[in-house]
Amino acid sequence: MTDAARAKALPGAGYALALVAATQLVSLLDRNILAILAPAIKRDLHIGDAEMGLLYGTVFALFYALFSLPLGRLADGWLRTRLLAITIFFWSVATGFAAFANGFALLALSRLGVGIGEAASQPAGTSLVYDYFPRHRRGMVMAVLAAAIALGLGGSLMIGGGAADWWNAHHAGGRPPLGLAGWQFAFLVAAAPGFVIAALMWRLREPVRGAIDGVDTPPDPAPFRASLNVFGAILPGTNWIALGRHRAAPRDWLINLVALALIVAGAIAAIRWTETLSPRPPLVLSGVTVSAHMLQWSVIGFGLFVLVNLAQALRRDDPPTFAAFSSPSLLLCIAIGSLQGVINYGVMGFTPSFLMKSYGLSPAMTGLQFGLLSAAIGVAGPLISGPLSDRLSGGRPARRVWVTLFSLGLSPLIALWVYRAPDAGAFYLRFTLYSVVLTMWLPPLYAVMFEQVLPRMRGITSSTYIVVSTITGLGIGPYAVGLISDANHGDLGAAILSINWVAPAIVAMLIALGWRVARDQARLLERTRAAGEPV
């Protein structure tokens, strides 16, 4: 074992981890609070489910995924504490801005701002805490961050609903201050913690990048310019300006345009197929009629083209990072996590509706019960698997993979039992076991994934993972469950179970990952040095 592997955590590491975990918690709170407030917002602003779906999914996901790449690149070159402080403040302002929305447009602007601000939270936060803790404790680190995410998701249902109900009850029969409704007050409550965390993050000590891994990382001379260059290179339209400025070879132009043509053709085919499978009425957004399926697949196509542009930009501007990204183990980690996102988003997006429809539970009772359970059990699974994978690994990354394989191989089988429960009590009892096993996958897989790149590449790696997982998980998971449910006369239980058919592919990839991860990790420095990395 190397000296770096035996290193102790830096002084203040626990405080830094707590602060980054609080950032993740508030991020998920601000992101997901819209779900519990949706009925009141629809009533007061006179908008429909289609508009709410766009606010919750499409608008947020598009800007979150797009801006994660330039902000992830900035996290790899600038002070991560400063970047986090600024972006936390920004998205907290955007969350609070929703309290004063009087129509769809202002609420969409708020969600756009939240998506942009939160795009830095995972890349910068993960990179930061990895430079506070040594390799053999990073499973525990990812467990804490995963637990914080679960608390944020569950807490958003309880805090959002509780704050709105308290405000409405306290001001029943009278004119509330500033004329705010309960849902508007809930947005102000959700925004408040972010300002405190931003102030604390600004004062947090920035660790030396890569020092705890024994990897010398020279400072980036122009991180903001590099970030802007990434944004210009990936954004459809400006990517062609970047190709022209760099005098790209005809082969690069051909690859880009052929990829675009294939993506457009695939999107058109997907639109036609899904319109045949599940015809839906058009959406009316601020007087404009839009096909729901066209909007869905256009956003996914946009994201895929961004990834094509990113690959070309890295190959041209940062060959060492491109070489690291060519690692089969890294690509397998991203694919596994993204496919699992299809299951997770599909399951969690429709389970509350399944409970209300199948067992006759009220929205308030569902929000309280399922929110509490999601928060409590979502904490338990990662806190078991993270330290367990640290203890089992002993410097062998394949052993972390086997913990993930246990989780993702067993959980689909338990799901068959859960979503056929005869009553709500049986469902919650079975779901407890299911959720513990299901949530064990994230810490060990993430610990493996971020060891496949150099310390200076962790931000862009996290951002790339965000784009892929957002497109596949958030973009396809709930959408696929809804399509299958519509095609099966509203059988949500069967639709939720059907999304688990991606599990065999996940298991096969995990076996492949376990077989080669140690070899790929050992060759990291060799690959990046050959591409010009000065380490």
Beta carbons of 527 and 326 less than 8 angstroms apart: yes
pLDDT at 355 (0 to 100) = 84
pLDDT tens column, 113-128: 999 999 999 999 999 9
b/e map 298-331, b = 16+ CB within 10 Å: bbbbbbbbbbbbbbbbbbbebebbbbbbebebbb
- Does the pLDDT of residue 522 top 50, yes or no? yes
Alpha-carbon span 282 to 490, nearest angstrom: 20
Alpha-carbon span 103 to 483, nearest angstrom: 29
The mean per-residue pLDDT over the stretch 426-455 comes to 91
Phi, psi angles (nearest 5°) of residue 466: -60, -45
| Percent of residues, the chain, with pLDDT higher than 70 | 94
Residue 412 tokens read as 């689909």
pLDDT at 5 (0 to 100) = 45
pLDDT band of residue 49 (cuts 50, 70, 90) is low
Mean pLDDT of the chain: 87
- Does the pLDDT of residue 4 top 60, yes or no? no
pLDDT at 3 (0 to 100) = 46
Alpha-carbon span 525 to 306, nearest angstrom: 28
pLDDT band of residue 265 (cuts 50, 70, 90) is very high
pLDDT at 2 (0 to 100) = 44
> Which has more confidence, 52 or 249?
249
Beta strands of 17-141 (E only): which ranges?
Answer: none
Enumerate domains of the chain plus CATH numbers. 1-209 (1.20.1250.20), 222-317 (no CATH), 324-535 (1.20.1250.20)
pLDDT at 1 (0 to 100) = 37
What is residue 411's DSSP assignment? H
Instruction: Name the nearest CA neighbour of 346 among 279, 404, 410, 415.
Output: 415
> Which has more confidence, 156 or 3?
156
Tokens 């089969």 -> residue: 328
| Three-class secondary structure of residue 290 per DSSP | strand
pLDDT at 188 (0 to 100) = 94
pLDDT at 175 (0 to 100) = 66
Long-range pairs, 295-298, Cβ under 8 A, ≥24: 295/54, 295/58, 296/58, 296/475, 296/479, 297/267, 297/270, 297/271, 298/267
Alpha-carbon span 334 to 348, nearest angstrom: 21
> Which has more confidence, 9 or 374?
9
Beta carbons of 136 and 156 less than 8 angstroms apart: no
> Which has more confidence, 233 or 368?
233
Residue 210 tokens read as 């890569």
pLDDT band of residue 173 (cuts 50, 70, 90) is low
pLDDT tens column, 390-411: 888 877 888 999 999 999 999 9
pLDDT at 241 (0 to 100) = 94
- Does the pLDDT of residue 469 top 60, yes or no? yes
pLDDT tens column, 278-328: 776 776 666 677 777 888 888 889 989 999 999 999 999 899 999 999 999
The mean per-residue pLDDT over the stretch 39-66 comes to 77
Q: For 197-201, 435-439, 484-488, 525-529, which range has the lowest pLDDT when averaged over its residues?
A: 484-488
Instruction: Name the nearest CA neighbour of 313 among 234, 253, 249, 221.
Output: 234
pLDDT band of residue 449 (cuts 50, 70, 90) is very high
Tokens 């007061």 -> residue: 44
pLDDT winner (highest mean) among 97-111, 188-202, 362-376, 434-448: 188-202
pLDDT at 50 (0 to 100) = 59
Residue 310 tokens read as 């990113």
